[in-house]
Chain A
């Protein structure tokens, strides 16, 4: 008898699992083997009750269910339906083995089929494993339909049986249009008074996917700027949307129907642990860097984060991937995010110049200021492509709306146009931030004059090799925003001001 096909969440993906059931002579018993966790063991009681409530006799013999491959640890309740089907088949219910369908779903004691975590990842892995159709909980149908395999939405176990025996068909699911993933509208740029430099930096960072550090005194509006950035990012492409939905669904954060359309914005509190940031746990859960994939990671009050958490960000900031090695094995996790961080210049926050160029009265001793700034290590600071000082707002006129201020939507359209130029030049999903040294040569040609200028800036501010390339990438984004194919002098100069701040 052919095994029943199901799947199991593993990291941010899923793997196919084959379920087989065998009846043997002996006292009535029900055993599930195959490196299972508690939730799978408890499936015994759910399956037993659900089979009974669906009008079938549970076999009164020795019953063994095997989940293959045996060496892969299995967790969760997504196998319940597959186990029930395997048990019914073994107990002699006819007509259940046509085709090669995949089953996912958690059973209720009354035979109902409940939603599962990671439905998209499960469906994709089943499609790859060669499932010809999928039976998924109706609550997950929108998500599962993205796997491009016919999806039968089911709410009860007997529906599955009746469909397989051809008694009563369950129609395939028509995917509903994509829905946005933004629970509340982000802050609009119009809500933020003044701060033109900050807004410009947000626009550049959004256009090229550059990491941004905003420094300034308390109350200047750094956090507001960081939050407003989410509204500047264009909608996700189809592939990106699938990646993001898969991750959030596995993380148990996406229960809506369909795909996530807006880029995620994650803003973890600074008390976060490194497992929370990077992912981990005996049953693996993705961390904030992975949940921020294709979106924003907002780290408010950067110096307050634990040192080792910040240092762990170095590789994902640079590569867009995270290699997590643990006792159980090594995982490759997607972490292509844009980081927006805020920090005060010193513990009291006042060690900065105001608009008139005067030093505000900071009462921190110089060594305290130095120690505070050292909390953001050199390597991390070097990875911030744009460093912008956010100055205190002028209180006169703070209540009036400034004429000519732009809304997030206007800026988002410019950002989308700039990203369009980048993708046309560099390939889909490739933003300027991801350009390697060799690609920079090809896509960022400099005239002899601008090249000489960049050389002088690099010498004056003793830029690192990384800093040099970052300045070039930022200049590329500024040129893209201006709709220019070549990087002109003013683009490069503007890029250098963000670097040298």
Chain B
């Protein structure tokens, strides 16, 4: 929810939350102008195991690329291009978001 608010604050429009397809699941689907954005939200409490964004490995990215292509095919009217963003969320002990970090276009 914090990530959604954060991105809306950056001027992006929400299309759908938690999109579930046979091939997998997309956390947030947004529009940034004419661009369809597939957003992966990664949250971690504490830095013991590294930054939250370090948990987005190449297999997950491959899956997200596949999902983005499928969504574009199913909904051709949504935007002209697509890209994949990651939002890293730091949580405190009670699970509240402390900080959000937006990394645009991670597969470029």
**A contacts, CB < 8 Å to B:** 25-28, 60
Chain A residues whose C-beta falls within 8 Å of the C-beta of B108 in the assembled complex: 26
Chain B residues whose C-beta falls within 8 Å of the C-beta of A60 in the assembled complex: 51, 53-54
4 tightest Cβ-Cβ pairs between the two chains A and B: A27-B106, A60-B51, A28-B54, A27-B53
- Closest Cβ–Cβ distance, residue B18 to chain A (whole Å): 22
Q: Are B54 and A26 in contact (CB under 8 A)?
A: no
Most buried by B among A25, A27, A28, A60: A27
Chain B residues whose C-beta falls within 8 Å of the C-beta of A25 in the assembled complex: 103-105
Which residue of chain B lies nearest to A28 when distances are taken between CB atoms in the complex?
A: B54
**B contacts, CB < 8 Å to A:** 51, 53-54, 56, 61, 86, 103-106, 108
List 20 A–B pairs whose Cβ atoms lie within 8 Å, in order of A's numbering. A25-B103, A25-B104, A25-B105, A26-B103, A26-B105, A26-B106, A26-B108, A27-B53, A27-B54, A27-B56, A27-B61, A27-B86, A27-B103, A27-B106, A28-B51, A28-B53, A28-B54, A60-B51, A60-B53, A60-B54
- Closest Cβ–Cβ distance, residue B40 to chain A (whole Å): 10
Chain B residues whose C-beta falls within 8 Å of the C-beta of A27 in the assembled complex: 53-54, 56, 61, 86, 103, 106
A25 to B53, CA, bound (A): 12
Chain B residues whose C-beta falls within 8 Å of the C-beta of A28 in the assembled complex: 51, 53-54
Which residue of chain A lies nearest to B108 when distances are taken between CB atoms in the complex?
A: A26
Chain A residues whose C-beta falls within 8 Å of the C-beta of B105 in the assembled complex: 25-26
- Closest Cβ–Cβ distance, residue B41 to chain A (whole Å): 14
Chain A residues whose C-beta falls within 8 Å of the C-beta of B103 in the assembled complex: 25-27
**SS of B interface (majority):** loop
A60 to B56, CA, bound (A): 13
A174 to B30, CA, bound (A): 65
- Closest Cβ–Cβ distance, residue A365 to chain B (whole Å): 72
A sample of 15 more A-B contacts (CB under 8 A), given A27-B103, A60-B51, is: A25-B103, A25-B104, A25-B105, A26-B103, A26-B105, A26-B106, A26-B108, A27-B54, A27-B56, A27-B61, A27-B106, A28-B53, A28-B54, A60-B53, A60-B54
Which residue of chain A lies nearest to B106 when distances are taken between CB atoms in the complex?
A: A27
Which residue of chain A lies nearest to B101 when distances are taken between CB atoms in the complex?
A: A60
A26 to B105, CA, bound (A): 7
Which residue of chain B lies nearest to A61 when distances are taken between CB atoms in the complex?
A: B103
- Closest Cβ–Cβ distance, residue A61 to chain B (whole Å): 9
A60 to B90, CA, bound (A): 15
A28 to B53, CA, bound (A): 7
A26 to B104, CA, bound (A): 7
A25 to B86, CA, bound (A): 12
A28 to B106, CA, bound (A): 10
Chain B residues whose C-beta falls within 8 Å of the C-beta of A26 in the assembled complex: 103, 105-106, 108
Which residue of chain B lies nearest to A24 when distances are taken between CB atoms in the complex?
A: B108
Which residue of chain A lies nearest to B61 when distances are taken between CB atoms in the complex?
A: A27
A102 to B62, CA, bound (A): 41
- Closest Cβ–Cβ distance, residue A27 to chain B (whole Å): 5
A289 to B55, CA, bound (A): 53
A27 to B56, CA, bound (A): 8
Which residue of chain A lies nearest to B51 when distances are taken between CB atoms in the complex?
A: A60
- Closest Cβ–Cβ distance, residue A453 to chain B (whole Å): 83
A28 to B105, CA, bound (A): 13
A360 to B105, CA, bound (A): 89
Which residue of chain B lies nearest to A26 when distances are taken between CB atoms in the complex?
A: B106
A60 to B51, CA, bound (A): 8
Which residue of chain A lies nearest to B57 when distances are taken between CB atoms in the complex?
A: A27
- Closest Cβ–Cβ distance, residue B1 to chain A (whole Å): 23
A26 to B102, CA, bound (A): 10
A26 to B107, CA, bound (A): 8
Chain A residues whose C-beta falls within 8 Å of the C-beta of B106 in the assembled complex: 26-27
- Closest Cβ–Cβ distance, residue A57 to chain B (whole Å): 11
- Closest Cβ–Cβ distance, residue A63 to chain B (whole Å): 13
- Closest Cβ–Cβ distance, residue A64 to chain B (whole Å): 13
A450 to B3, CA, bound (A): 102
Chain A residues whose C-beta falls within 8 Å of the C-beta of B61 in the assembled complex: 27
- Closest Cβ–Cβ distance, residue A280 to chain B (whole Å): 37
A60 to B44, CA, bound (A): 15
Chain A residues whose C-beta falls within 8 Å of the C-beta of B54 in the assembled complex: 27-28, 60
A124 to B53, CA, bound (A): 44
A83 to B30, CA, bound (A): 39
- Closest Cβ–Cβ distance, residue B6 to chain A (whole Å): 17
